[in-house]
Amino acid sequence: MPASTAPQAPPQAPLQALPQAPPQAQPQDQPQAHLQAPLQAPPQALPQALPLTPPQEVVIVQDPPQEVAPERRRGADTRALTQVLFGQLKGLQAGTKEHNRVRGALIEANLPLVRYAAARFRSRNEPMEDVVQVGTIGLINAIDRFDPDRGVQFPTFAMPTVVGEIKRYFRDNVRTVHVPRRLHELWVQVNSATEDLTTAFGRSPTTAEIAERLRISEEEVLSCIEAGRSYHATSLEAAQEGDGLPGLLDRLGYEDPALDGVEHRDLVRHLLVQLPEREQRILLLRYYSNLTQSQISAELGVSQMHVSRLLARSFARLRSANRIEA
């Protein structure tokens, strides 16, 4: 019997171990405890648990955009140099050698500003060297009048002066026919109104429509159009383009029959002022009003013989004073 009962003991061991298997699920509850542990941690422990990005990494991200803008850095260097030079110029006496040297350095440092302003007038068909030279004059005037103590950047102060000098050059020197400033400014408004009305109507506007738009008379509009056409003079001898016709001189010129008498009329006018007033009046009545000697004598209250003697004396004085016959 003891031998028969010995083999039955092993099967009972797994049966007793089966009820104890569910406690193995306790390890599944342990991760929940670990997840709740950081939430229940005290506030002072949070900074140690959260990793922070080093500040050096943020600086590395911001550095590349600064390397892509060399022109902006060059402009900043020019402004800094200009500020330093103005600080030196302020303590120097005008006319000295050091003052002229610093002033020349300021001009050379800000020449790119002049070239930038001159590029706006590239479509004016004028040599760019001349425009830059005129703009440089405005730059020199701006340097002489600039006060760094006012807290204004020099490019902001100098740009209106440079542009104004260039515009004055185009207004006074480029035009071969001088146009009054009011007509020139009104011509710009007429051009702008013409473009707007052309877009609105789909055709070229009439003179009356432009005048109504600008609230001016039609005569002023026509004067502005003529002023705009007089920007450059046209040669009278140049042939017309395209049609092959001769120049304006050959088509419009004619011989004036009174041209030969211009010099004689000028000479007579010069000689008449040398005669007494009464003799001047007699000559005017005789040869400009075509009166006879009898009519002149009745007009002046003298005899016809006296009028004849006065005419003869006047002719003698005129012949003696005539520098051409002499």
Q: pLDDT digits over 208-250, tens only?
A: 999 999 999 999 999 888 877 766 666 666 665 556 666 666 6
Which pLDDT score, from 0 to 100, does residue 173 have? 73
Which pLDDT score, from 0 to 100, does residue 23 have? 47
Which pLDDT score, from 0 to 100, does residue 43 have? 47
Who wins on pLDDT, 19 or 255? Answer: 255
In degrees, to the nearest 5, what angle opens at C-alpha 269 toward C-alphas 264 and 272? 120
Gap between the Cα atoms of 245 and 250, Å rounded = 9
SS3 state at 251: helix
Q: Are residues 130 and 136 in contact, defined by beta-carbon separation less than 8 angstroms?
A: no
Per the prediction, the chain carries an average pLDDT of: 76
The one-letter amino acid code at 118 reads: A
The answer to whether residue 157 scores a pLDDT higher than 50 is yes
Which pLDDT score, from 0 to 100, does residue 11 have? 47
Which pLDDT score, from 0 to 100, does residue 143 have? 93
Which pLDDT score, from 0 to 100, does residue 139 have? 94
* Per-range mean pLDDT, top range of 57-66, 77-86, 168-177, 292-301: 292-301
200: left (phi over 0), alpha (psi -120 to 50) or beta: alpha
Which pLDDT score, from 0 to 100, does residue 244 have? 62
- Provide mean pLDDT across the span 143-172: 89
In degrees, to the nearest 5, what angle opens at C-alpha 170 toward C-alphas 168 and 174? 130
The answer to whether residue 154 scores a pLDDT higher than 50 is yes
- Tokens encoding 253: 């010129």
7 DSSP assignment: G
The answer to whether residue 9 scores a pLDDT higher than 60 is no
Kindly compute the dihedral angle of the four CA atoms of residues 222, 227, 231, 234, in this order, to the nearest 10 degrees.
Answer: 70
The answer to whether residue 18 scores a pLDDT higher than 90 is no
- Tokens encoding 46: 């949070």
pTM for this entry = 0.41
Residue among 92, 79, 70, 97 nearest 158 (CA)? 79
Which pLDDT score, from 0 to 100, does residue 323 have? 59
- Tokens encoding 48: 């140690």
The answer to whether residue 8 scores a pLDDT higher than 60 is no
